[in-house]
Amino acid sequence: MSTKILKGLLAASIVVIISLSFWGFKTDQKNFEISKNMDIFFTLVRELNLFYVDEVKPEILIKKGIDEMLDTLDPYTVFIPESEMDDFKFMTTGEYAGIGAMISKRKNQIIVAEPYEGFPAQKNGLRAGDIFLEVDGKKVDKLAVSDVSDILKGPAQKVVKVKMQRPGVEKPLSIDIVREDIQINPVTYYGMIDAQTGYARLSSFTDGCADKLRSAITDLRDKQGATSFVLDLRSNPGGLLGEAVKVANLFVNHGQEIVSTKGKVSQWDKTYRATEQPVDSVMPLIILVNSGSASASEIVAGALQDLDRAIILGNRTFGKGLVQTTRDLSYNTKLKVTTAKYYIPSGRCIQALDYSHRNSDGSVGNIPDSLTSVFKTKNGRLVKDGGGVTPDIRDVQDTLSTLAYKLVQDYLVFDFATDFAFKHKTIASADKFIVSDDIYHDFLVFIKERKFSYESRSEQTLKTLIDIAKRERYFEGAKNEFAELEKGLTLDLDADVNKFSDEIRELIKDEIVSRYYFQKGAIIAAIGSDLEIKRVLSLFHSPAEYSAILAPSADKGPK
């Protein structure tokens, strides 16, 4: 071996040794910093426990410290204490042991928001609007919803005693309910919405949801004659990555790439492909999404958009492109930690560029074009990253008016439906029921008796501006202008209940129908007046328009 080569090898070896030593030093330094700060944290909690003037609860202090620490990372890296393991199991499997009802808090009352059809709460006569007074002998008026939920859950086949106050009934009801293993079907409803079009609402990506959806599609196509299909993922918050891959696989051929993950630990990077034959890879397909469609919903919608397998219709999705892995900790606790980002077939990531600044509903805000990158679908259509999936056809469904939103927020639609259901034993079938003029008149009388009033954001903002102007002594000089502006912005309830009667009637119909036919009935009732469903049907009835949206084009983007 020549001297020159020997010197080169020696130099390279020295570089490697120095690099490894530096890497080892950095690792040792980081481990030291972790050990040092953990020791500081331990001694701090110990001293607080010994000397703080009032009694402290170390578990609360430490939980708060952990939560604040994780808040500096991203919204999805969270600590799961043992007390929340049942909720975590429900989120991933859709299963828990309890009475089968959604509960919520209105002022200081814990109420039944919705009993699930076929489960103990409904079978034992609980109704939406019923008020919890006691659970297992414990008064609940000062408890949080989560505390009452914890009491209602427990071992299957064990009795939980509830004391309820039913609106319109003077005497409280005492009911013994036997808990059951509850598993919510993620396919909330499926059926034909016209002679050729099958429809399915998927509410979550829990374990086994793809198999249930496969059965629904097969039934619609083979037994009910569907030749086109719409998958409704609106307000589906996501769930299991594996189930998202399986759902996408229902519509694309074996071997097709659906999503890939890339993170800090390269050994965990993985490409997920369709592993089975599809249910149908050619049937016209439209997927409905909105700002509440997140995570696994975005994988399915985004992948099928990238593969030009489906038209996406609705509003831009939530923008969660981060993958979480659950790690076991001591004492039956867990850490759900973000370990990677996922990328759909075009190469784009759906994660919002800035998850710390979102709209009030949590969805992605406006993103400047300068911050986004352009990608191409399989057919060459242009798509962008930056946050969420932008539909091929956007903004079909209008948002609620301020009046309608306030009526829902103040539980007035809910309470009216409760009162209506108490007075009427039966109604027409879910697809036939309408809010007649008489019913709507009764609703208007109802809200006036409750002394309902509301103001727009413009009015609220004007009041703030007036307060500022008074503090800064500008108000007197512009007093007349402020008065004119206030007059122009003041809302007229009598005029608005007529102006927005259509959407208010729809809200009333949805709430009333759910009292008699539960969630499935509410979906059936809403389909007939759903603007996005109407747009879906017009596309399916116009094959040329449907094909044109998915056709190759160098400069085509979402409409």
φ/ψ of 171, rounded to 5, equals: -90, 130
Residue 318 near residue 294 (C-beta atoms within 8 A): yes
Residue 191 near residue 168 (C-beta atoms within 8 A): no
Q: What does the block give as tokens for 310?
A: 């489906």
As a whole number of Å, the CA-based R_g of the chain is: 28
Instruction: Give the other-Cβ count within 10 Å of 477's Cβ.
Output: 10
Residue in the structure block whose two tokens are 């301020």: 402
Residue 230 near residue 191 (C-beta atoms within 8 A): no
φ/ψ of 202, rounded to 5, equals: -105, 115
In angstroms, the Cα distances linking 197 to 231, 252, 512, 536, 546 are: 11, 19, 27, 9, 14
Q: How is the chain split among helix, strand and coil, in percent rounded to 5?
A: 45, 20, 35
Residue at 148: amino acid letter? V
Nearest to 427 by CA among 528, 527, 523, 521: 521
Q: What does the block give as tokens for 410?
A: 């103040």
Q: What does the block give as tokens for 167?
A: 């609106």
Q: Which residues are the active-site residues?
A: 295, 306, 320
Nearest to 94 by CA among 209, 184, 202: 184
Cβ contacts of 347 within 8 Å, gap of 6 or more: 375
